[in-house]
Amino acid sequence: MKIRVLGCFGGNVPECGMTSFLVNDTVCLDAGFVSGALSLREQVKVKDVVISHSHLDHTCSLPFLIDNNFSAPGFILRIHAIREVIASMKAHLFNNQTWPDFTCLPNDLTPVLKLVEVPIEKPFRVNGLSIRAVRVSHIVPTTGFVVEDKTGTVAYSSDTAPTDRFWEVVNKVGNLKAVIVETSFPNELQDLANVSGHLTPQTLDTELKKLKRDVPVYLYGAKPRHRARIRAQVRALKRRRLAFLVQGKTYKF
């Protein structure tokens, strides 16, 4: 499996794109920075986006991904997410106020956008991938994803505070190659992390004790203002096989 990191931060400054990963060139996991990171030629190949939750740092490039490619011949985008996330995008993003409702444009019969509801913990197929959504513990309905192709499986937590079911599922995955987990705030902002449903290095450390598999763990989601501090605190954990994702890098699993 090939994963290109388009953005791996929980906020946006010039060198930090927001959360989005391109899997095998055509499927995006979250969409915080798709239109900012990919050329038009690359964007038009993205036909499927799997969305973990409605927060803007995971969705804000969707309107521009569609707008940029609306008139490209044959372009159709399918957004896959659980029911609550689809409902939120309908109500708050593609609502003809924030942005046009592309699910009925250019017309109802051949819309450029399809919103596809996915089940919880049952595999669904997206362009050669088998994906399972697993609920995590954030302040809005959110799922992580277990993503499998012919070569291996990668698990992505999305935004979460301490959680259990995700780790139970991950521990049973066959051919697990890596786990991607969030770490948004430094330890001194633990209260803020708690009320906003995020991890700090110290709660990450507790979470990683739930992982019973010896695979590399990659971190994403740092708030740009705090990233140096988060890095130092993660280094101090002295855990092996733990690293930060590098924006722009392509990982092969």
Cβ within 8 Å of residue 20, ≥6 positions away: 6, 7, 28, 29, 30, 31, 32, 33, 34, 37, 58, 61
Which residues inside 101-160 make contact with Zn ion, applying CB under 5 A? 159
If the CB atoms of residues 223 and 229 are measured against Zn ion, the closer one turns out to be 223
* Residue 232: count of CB within 10 angstroms of its CB: 11
Shortest CB 19 distance to Zn ion, Å:
9
Which of 4, 55, 223, 227 binds Zn ion (CB under 5 A)? It is: 55
Number of residues that bind Zn ion (CB under 5 A): 2
Closest CA to 253 of 149, 152, 170: 152
Separation of alpha carbons 169 and 211, rounded Å: 10
If the CB atoms of residues 148 and 159 are measured against Zn ion, the closer one turns out to be 159
State yes or no: residue 223 binds Zn ion (CB under 5 A): no
Shortest CB 158 distance to Zn ion, Å:
7
If the CB atoms of residues 76 and 189 are measured against Zn ion, the closer one turns out to be 189
Closest CA to 76 of 37, 98, 46, 40: 46
If the CB atoms of residues 159 and 205 are measured against Zn ion, the closer one turns out to be 159
Kindly list the residues in this chain that would bind Zn ion in the complex (CB under 5 A): 55, 159
